[in-house]
Amino acid sequence: MVQEASLKAWAKRHTFRAGGNFKAWYLTIVANECRQTLRSEWRRSVLIPFSQRSSSQPPEDRVIAGDEVRRALSRLSYDHRLAIVLRFYLDLSFDEIASMLQISPQTARTRTYRGLAQLRPIFNTPEVLGND
């Protein structure tokens, strides 16, 4: 996906505004490519409902599979899902997320934490306090 995004970025390099944030511009293209790939993969696969997933292991010992995370993320609003993906998949700071989405850093932080709060009951995980 990154390779495809790089090709698209090269082809569209004339759309980059001089003096703009190149990293934010490029990562937006990568994120769009990832979303497009996921959409096409989801159309080809059948998702297993949450009620049918295996929960035989205790939550603290259970390994969460990638498809389970994708299904859980798909239950979030677009804004919360995007904030979580940018923060934890692309490892961006709240300032970088804010710049990319044209929102305040506090709004980026709020969207991320509210999205995580919605995911906790799905995975039966306790809230962990942090300063980040």
**Assigned architecture for domain 78-125:** Orthogonal Bundle (1.10)
pTM for the predicted model, two decimal places: 0.51
- pLDDT tens digits, residue range 54-91? 544 444 445 556 677 888 888 999 999 989 888 888 88
Look at the block and give the residue holding tokens 């991320």: 112
Is the Cβ–Cβ distance between 110 and 32 less than 8 Å?
no
Residue 76 identity (one-letter amino acid) = L
Within the chain, which residues score under 70 in pLDDT? 38-66, 125-132
Report how far residue 45's alpha carbon sits from residue 107's, in angstroms, rounded to the nearest whole number.
Answer: 34
User: What are the extents of the domains in the chain?
Assistant: 1-41, 78-125
